[in-house]
Amino acid sequence: MWQLRSILSPLEGMTIDITTEFSTVSGILIEVKADYIVLRTTADLLYIPLASIKSVAY
């Protein structure tokens, strides 16, 4: 997971697409924590566990 954190940390403030096992969401990456990220969509703040992230696009 440290690899995913190191990839995501420089992307803070950028709009990214995150694919999980449930869906794909797009939003601004607000923060990268030890085991989750915070993504701001047009309506909500989403807390996404790093373990559930399947892919990232920016």
Q: Are 15 and 56 in contact (CB under 8 A)?
A: no
Instruction: Give 13-47 as a DSSP string.
Output: TSEEEEEESS-EEEEEEEEE-SSEEEEE-SS-EEE
pLDDT tens figures, 15-50: 999 999 999 999 999 999 999 999 999 999 999 999
Which residue segments constitute the domains of the chain, with CATH numbers given?
1-57 (2.30.30.100)
pLDDT tens figures, 7-16: 999 999 999 9
Handedness of CA 28, 29, 31, 35 (dihedral sign): positive
Predicted local confidence at residue 41, as pLDDT: 96
